[in-house]
């Protein structure tokens, strides 16, 4: 029986065109043994339904064409299975694709990585049972994400505008935090649990994070004012935020965040609502992904 491959395209993710992707995939698979199928998402949860149905008849891999939200839905469905995930990045941030070394502006190369690259395992984080593969956060980044989700347009400039607008009115909150039994408290500007080094768009919140070490990087940014906020923003994009004395970084596998009120959180760049207590854990090497041969951080 031929191996089956499904390409799932999110037609509304990001701002880049996807119209050349089907032809590229058809060309790449026409002389291969795998049998290629292609479909478009029709709303939240549709990709998961397609995959679960396909698994009944045998499925070798799924190619996600979209952003981190699309990838999260597909990857969550594939986690814990032998079905492999290929990524053609077409979102706004593309955090996971960037972390894996998949090019942003070269669809042909992204396809080549899927057909000729290596298979590598990565970890999956869980926040109150909800899976994430990039970052989970509360505080400022969660509020930016909520504002960005409500915006009429997409793209990096819209994200920057959302950040500036949110910063004007944002007030840090008091939190109780523990990581592997070590208690941390106080006010925080934001709290991020990172499985990879960046949010997306090359904004490096945890420059030393690895997606396959079985650990999460916990980053706490304490309240900022004026020039300090500008400094942190610059360091995010120069991969030097870990050098800032106002940033606290920890590494562990079990994290608990408690806050005074339920509210916004972000999971892989998507806004969600969560309660006062959030329990975060990790499943080590729970998802198989295609990565470039030269990308040495991930190995089976």
Task: Report the CATH number at residue 80.
Answer: 3.40.50.10330
Residue matched to tokens 């390409």: 7
| Inside any domain, residue 300 | no
Residue at which a domain ends, from 91, 116, 141: 116
Q: pLDDT tens digits, the chain, 300 residues: what are they?
A: 678 999 999 988 866 677 889 999 999 999 998 999 999 999 889 999 999 999 998 999 999 999 999 999 999 999 999 999 999 999 888 999 999 999 988 999 999 999 999 999 999 999 999 999 999 999 988 888 888 776 666 666 666 777 777 666 678 899 999 999 999 989 999 999 999 999 988 889 999 999 999 999 999 999 887 777 778 878 888 888 888 888 999 999 999 999 999 999 999 989 999 999 999 999 999 999 999 987 665 543
Q: Are residues 150 and 74 in the same domain?
A: no
CA 300/CA 288 separation, integer angstroms: 9
Q: Are strands 4-9 and 61-66 parallel, antiparallel or unpaired?
A: parallel
Q: Are residues 156 and 228 in the same domain?
A: yes
pLDDT at position 142 is 87
How many domains, the chain? 2
CB 234 within 8 A of CB 32: no
Q: Are residues 274 and 155 in the same domain?
A: yes
CB 179 within 8 A of CB 215: no
| Inside any domain, residue 123 | no
CB 220 within 8 A of CB 206: no
| Inside any domain, residue 253 | yes
CB 222 within 8 A of CB 186: yes
| Inside any domain, residue 246 | yes
Q: Give the pair of three-digit tokens for residue 64.
A: 């996600």
Dihedral angle over CA of 286, 290, 295, 296, nearest 10:
40
Distance of CA 237 to the CA centre of its chain: 17
pLDDT at position 300 is 39
Q: Are residues 155 and 34 in the same domain?
A: no
Q: Are residues 276 and 139 in the same domain?
A: yes
Q: Are residues 154 and 99 in the same domain?
A: no
**Residues contacting 147, CB < 8 A, separation 6+:** 162, 165, 166
CA 280/CA 131 separation, integer angstroms: 10
Q: Is 173 helix (H, G, I), strand (E, B) or coil?
A: strand
pLDDT at position 168 is 63
Q: Are residues 162 and 103 in the same domain?
A: no
**Residues contacting 183, CB < 8 A, separation 6+:** 176, 177
Helix axes 156-169, 140-149, angle to 10 degrees: 120
Q: Are residues 238 and 187 in the same domain?
A: yes
pLDDT at position 180 is 97
Residue at which a domain ends, from 116, 147, 163: 116
CA 260/CA 277 separation, integer angstroms: 9
| Inside any domain, residue 215 | yes
pLDDT at position 1 is 63
Instruction: Compute how many other C-beta atoms are within 10 angstroms of the C-beta atom of residue 262.
Output: 12
**Residues contacting 260, CB < 8 A, separation 6+:** 173, 174, 276
CB 99 within 8 A of CB 110: no
Q: Are residues 112 and 187 in the same domain?
A: no
Which domain covers residue 206, as residue numbers? 130-284
CA 158/CA 122 separation, integer angstroms: 30
pLDDT at position 278 is 98
Q: What angle do CA 225, 230, 233 make, to 5 degrees?
A: 120
Q: Are residues 98 and 214 in the same domain?
A: no
Residue matched to tokens 């981190």: 68
Element (H, E) at 187: strand 182-188
């Amino acid at each position: 029986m031929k191996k089956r491959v499904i390409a799932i395209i999110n037609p509304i993710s990001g701002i880049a065109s996807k119209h050349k992707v089907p032809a590229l995939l058809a060309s790449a698979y026409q002389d291969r043994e795998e049998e290629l199928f292609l479909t478009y998402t029709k709303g939240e949860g549709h990709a998961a339904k397609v995959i679960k149905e396909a698994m009944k008849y045998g499925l070798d891999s799924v190619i996600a064409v979209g952003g981190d939200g699309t990838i999260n839905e597909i990857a969550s469905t594939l986690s814990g299975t032998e079905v492999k995930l290929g990524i053609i990045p077409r979102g706004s941030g593309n955090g996971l694709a960037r972390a894996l070394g998949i090019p942003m502006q070269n669809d042909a190369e992204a396809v080549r990585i899927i057909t000729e690259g290596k298979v590598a395992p990565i970890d999956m984080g869980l926040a109150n049972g909800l899976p994430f593969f990039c970052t989970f956060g509360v505080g400022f980044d969660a509020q930016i994400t909520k504002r960005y989700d409500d915006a009429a347009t997409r793209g990096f400039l819209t994200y920057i505008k959302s950040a500036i607008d949110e910063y004007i009115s944002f007030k840090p909150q008091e939190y109780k935090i523990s990581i592997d039994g070590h208690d941390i408290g106080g006010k925080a500007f934001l709290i991020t649990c990172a499985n990879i080094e960046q949010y997306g768009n090359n904004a490096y919140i945890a420059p030393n994070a690895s997606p396959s070490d079985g650990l999460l990087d916990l980053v706490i940014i304490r309240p900022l004012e004026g020039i300090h906020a500008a400094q942190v923003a610059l360091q995010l994009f120069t991969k030097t935020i870990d050098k800032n004395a106002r940033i606290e970084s920890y590494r562990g596998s079990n994290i608990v965040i408690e806050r005074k009120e339920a509210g916004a959180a972000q999971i892989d760049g998507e806004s969600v609502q969560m309660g006062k207590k959030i329990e975060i854990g990790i499943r080590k090497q729970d998802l198989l992904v295609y990565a470039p041969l030269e990308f040495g951080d991930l190995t089976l």
